[in-house]
Structures are given as structure tokens and as C-alpha cells.
Amino acid sequence: MPLTDSLRDDILASVPSLRAFAISLSGNGDRADDLVQETLLRALANIDSFQPGSNLPAWLFTILRNLFRSDYRKRRREVEDADGSYAKTLKTQPSQGAHLEFEEFRAALDKLPQDQREALILVGASGFSYEDAAAICGCAVGTIKSRVNRARSKLSALLYVDGAEDFGPDETVRAVIGGNGG
């Protein structure tokens, strides 16, 4: 369909989610924005192939996901988030304790196989149905379900099962308690 004003607005409205998806996949803010930019250019160049009334976010996510995967094959994840470049993209800087836990979560997410990570993000964070996520990833619905389950199990093992002692009161919790108790 032609690029109407409302379609352009809809594409712009998808940008925040596309960025979140790109950052979750790549773990790198700068690279994520390049991915989003390339996604938008591709989408606009191919706007005629978009079916009016179909799921625009899913269409855009599909483009981004495919770009990421072809890019990934070329240069792997050579830029890990060792310097906290992801955290720098955050407007609200978490406090020290929350920041540490956030980094742990980020690191655990990075340890997942790519198939599982993208499935978990699409379903668990982007809010896509299993059906939409399957269409975006070009696989069966059952495959998405099993990838999401395996992703959750692996994160659980990495973060909680072997690290139960991490959940004792720490700086963050004490700060909260202290703040409430006066």
C-alpha cells in the first residue's frame, strides 16, 4: 500500500518497541539504532508489499529480526556489553544494587542461544502472541513455545536455582526497608 500519513505515524509509533527489541537482541545501543534505521529504510522501500490491515509491528519486527540475523552471521557478537554500553542507553540509571542485578540478568540473557532469546523477548516482553512470534521467526508455533520454555528454564538455572543465596537482603533491600522504616 502507498505510504499514507497514518501509515507513517504507525511506523513511527512502532519505533520505541523496535529499539527495545533491537537492544535486547544485540545488547548494544548504537548498533541497535543502526538496525532500527536500516529496518525503517527497508520497510519504506518495500512499503508496497505491506498488506493493509495486517499486523504492522509484526511486519517491522520480521524485517529487523532478519537484518539482525544476517548481520549476526557476519560479525557475531564481538562487542559484548563489557563496558556497560547497554546501561548507558538507559535514561533512568538504576541504583547500584539494582544495577548489578540488571547486569546479571542481561548477562544471563546473552548466554541463551539466539533462537531462544528472540522467542522469549517477542513473547515475554514485546507481547506478541505465539502465533505472531512464529510468523516473525518463520517457524512453527510449537517451536516457539518450546524455545520460550527452554529460555525460561535456562534463565532460571543461571539466575536463581544455583544462586539462591543471592536473594538475601542486600543493599537495595536494606535501602528500601530503611527508607520505609525511617
Partner 1 sequence: MKLQGLNSRGSVEQVMKEVKAQAGRNATPGKQSGLTAEIQSRIGHQLRAMYDDVVRQGVPDRFVELIRKLDVPKPDPQLGATGDPEKDGGS
Q: What does the binding site for partner 1 look like in residue numbers (CB under 8 A)? A: 3, 8, 10-17, 19-21, 23-24, 33, 36-37, 40-41, 44, 57, 89-92, 94-95, 97-98, 101-102, 105-106, 109, 120-121, 124-127, 149, 152-153, 155-156, 159-162, 164-165, 167-170, 172-173, 176
Least distance (Å) from partner 1 to the CB of residue 72? 19
Name the residue type at position 15: V
Q: Which residues contact 72 (CB under 8 A, 6 or more apart)?
A: 114
Least distance (Å) from partner 1 to the CB of residue 65? 15
* Other residues' Cβ atoms within 10 Å of the Cβ of residue 71: 15
Least distance (Å) from partner 1 to the CB of residue 108? 9
Return the number of the residue (72 or 167) whose C-beta is nearest partner 1. 167
* Other residues' Cβ atoms within 10 Å of the Cβ of residue 18: 24
Length of the chain: 182
Least distance (Å) from partner 1 to the CB of residue 169? 5
Return the number of the residue (19 or 137) whose C-beta is nearest partner 1. 19
Question: Which H or E run includes 168?
Answer: none
Whole-angstrom distance, CA of residue 87 vs CA of residue 29: 9
Return the number of the residue (121 or 136) whose C-beta is nearest partner 1. 121
Whole-angstrom distance, CA of residue 35 vs CA of residue 18: 9
